[in-house]
Structure 1
Amino acid sequence: MNALSQSGATQSRPTTGSADLKLLGIYLNDHLAGATAGTARAGRLARVARGSALGRAIEPVAAEIALDRAALLDIMRDLGIPVRRYKVCAGWAGERMGRLKPNGHLVGGSPLGTVVDLEALRLGIEGKAAGWQTLRRLSATDERLDAARLDTLIERARRQQETVEEWRVRQIEQALATTAD
């Protein structure tokens, strides 16, 4: 057990073979802000699409995204990295602000709103996968990181990307389809 796990404090200098914990803390808290926004966006999309084919496809993805956020919190705890609440709040607020965009309709939603939500989810999942891959590399020198768990998270992100991309393509084709006059 090292001094970090005994005291719970972060250290700014790396020990041999491990990451700079101050920078890793910033990195993981940034990912947590993104995970907070992604969880909210996925949950909202699942609620809006409930009962439709899209909803049935997105509901399990939204549930997994919430589990992934919890996994990130577990990993941060295992590493002794404190959660920076202001970043979590920024992620939450950023997602809410992202809803306040002109959508081409005076009242109600636009078919493009679902496309934008799916594109935002896809980008978030890609970022999350990159974060898991970074941690997977670090697991080679840090026994606190479970390589098998990270492999599972990477694979789950890949499946999420496939599902979201399939539905993004369907929605864009539907939203931008021209109608015969």
Structure 2
Amino acid sequence: MNRAAPAHRTAARTGTGTGRAPALLGIYLNDHLMGSGAGVRLIRRIRDRHSGTPIAPDLDTLVRELDEDQESLRRVINDLDVPVSRVREAVGRLAEAAGRLKLNGRLVSRSPLSDVLEFEGMLLGVEGKAACWRALRAVADVDPRIAAADMDRLLARADAQSRTLEELRHRRAAEVFAADLRGQTSPAPGRHRPHHHRRPGSAPRSA
């Protein structure tokens, strides 16, 4: 038995939406898709670097959710018949590679400051993603190809992701800069068990 298609996708096929690929929105969404790809790659590198530490479960959750968020954005792009720009994707990868060469106080070895900068970069990326969801939520009021309920859910999740990343960023910055002020090398990241937020509807973590 065939399942009924979601209303917003049915609308796209039957012409109750605009029936064309929006030029300006297409550019906007491709820019965010490029940023999403960079964010997914960065959070995976962070997760791999902190494997086996007490913050690893939070990072595993972020990797899974950011992967899902990217797929959600791709579905929106597909539902709006927006072509994906491979040129922008390639340019984004080049810009990302150049950004990783940013000086962090050490020329050869990895600096503890890199942890702080990476968490800040992820936090800014998630806040930018939330802005995209808010823009699409507004568009959902005039175009049935975008599901408003999906945008509300993605916005709530981005808010939870921001809180998690801010806690991780704050803790690592405190470790790194306190050690720097004492003239010492900061401890390895995540060696002390962090205080976890409970996400809405989640069960408390066991000790």
Task: Kindly state the Cα deviation for residue 179 of structure 1 after the two structures are TM-superposed.
Answer: 2.4
C-alpha distance in 1 between matches for 2:95 and 2:107 = 23
Instruction: Give the counterpart letter for 1:174 in structure 2.
Output: E
Q: Which has the higher helix share?
A: 1
Instruction: Give the counterpart letter for 1:53 in structure 2.
Output: P
CA distance change for structure 1 residues 138 and 3 in 2, over 3 Å: closer, same or farther?
Answer: closer
Q: What corresponds to 1:179 in structure 2?
A: 182
- Structure 1 vs Structure 2 CA RMSD: 1.9
Q: What corresponds to 2:163 in structure 1?
A: 162
CA distance change for structure 1 residues 4 and 91 in 2, over 3 Å: closer, same or farther?
Answer: farther
User: Are the aligned partners of 2:16 and 2:144 in contact in 1 as well (CA < 8 Å)?
Assistant: no
**TM-score (normalised: structure 1):** 0.87
**TM-score (normalised: structure 2):** 0.76
Task: Kindly state the Cα deviation for residue 105 of structure 1 after the two structures are TM-superposed.
Answer: 2.2
Q: Greater shift after overlay, 106-115 or 134-143?
A: 106-115
Listed as ranges, the gaps of 5+ residues in structure 2 are 1-13, 185-207
Listed as ranges, the gaps of 5+ residues in structure 1 are 11-20
1:23 aligns with 2:36: no
User: Are the aligned partners of 2:140 and 2:148 in contact in 1 as well (CA < 8 Å)?
Assistant: yes
Q: Greater shift after overlay, 158-167 or 44-53?
A: 44-53
Q: Greater shift after overlay, 56-65 or 119-128?
A: 56-65
C-alpha distance in 1 between matches for 2:18 and 2:132 = 22
Larger Rg, first or second structure (1 or 2): 2
Q: Greater shift after overlay, 119-128 or 62-71?
A: 62-71
Q: Structure 1: which 4+ aligned runs deviate by more than 6 Å?
A: 3-6
CA distance change for structure 1 residues 73 and 180 in 2, over 3 Å: closer, same or farther?
Answer: closer
Residue-pair matches, total: 169
* Helix, strand or coil at the partner of 1:176: helix
Percent identity between the aligned chains?
37
